[in-house]
Amino acid sequence: MLLAGSFAIPVILGLVVALQGVPNPASAAAHDLATRLRRTDLPGSVAGSGLVAGGRAGPYTAYLLDQPWYGDELNPTAESYAGSGARLVIVNRRQLVGKELEQSPLFRNLDPRLFASPEEAAQCPLQVFQALR
């Protein structure tokens, strides 16, 4: 009985996870951003991984917006994002490149357009910038 239980428990747990799904923070963040961006006139091509737990939210967001994803780099800069040709750049709020994008005259931080307050924006692990070309 104990031997059978040792094999059955992992199978049952795996079945429960498969049927209910596993929460994915990257997917949840991408859905939230896509919903917020659809409410504006801002959707367009996307660059940046927006790497958070669970994966890359940037490509997910581009897919949900039916827009092309222009990729990302290992060590991106504001200049490299500007050269990508993407209209929107999605980064993890904790990435240093976010501060660079914030200070760049080539980009606008979309937090004020996407969130009701700075506190609400801070709850989102991602930050979106619009290219100003």
Domain parsing of the chain, residue ranges:
24-131
Residue 24: band (very low, low, confident or very high) from pLDDT cuts 50, 70, 90: confident
Mean pLDDT in residue range 5-16: 60
Q: Where are the alpha helices (DSSP H) in the chain?
A: 2-20, 25-38, 57-64, 78-84, 96-103, 111-114, 118-123
Widest pairwise Cα distance in the chain? 69
Q: CA separation (Å) from 69 to 9, 50, 58, 88, 96? A: 41, 12, 8, 10, 21
Q: Which of 51-55, 73-77, 80-84, 115-119 has the lowest mean pLDDT?
A: 51-55
pTM of the predicted model as reported, rounded to 2 decimal places:
0.82
Question: Are 48 and 77 within 8 A, CB to CB?
Answer: no
Please name the residue that has the structure tokens 């958070």.
Answer: 52
**Interstrand relation of 51-52 and 126-131 (parallel, antiparallel or unpaired):** unpaired
Q: What percent of the chain has pLDDT over 90?
A: 68
Q: Which residue has the higher pLDDT, 54 or 122?
A: 122
Decide: 30 and 64 in contact? Cβ < 8 Å: yes
Mean pLDDT of the chain: 87
* Residue 109 binned pLDDT confidence (cut-offs 50, 70, 90): very high
The mean pLDDT value for 88-116 works out to: 96
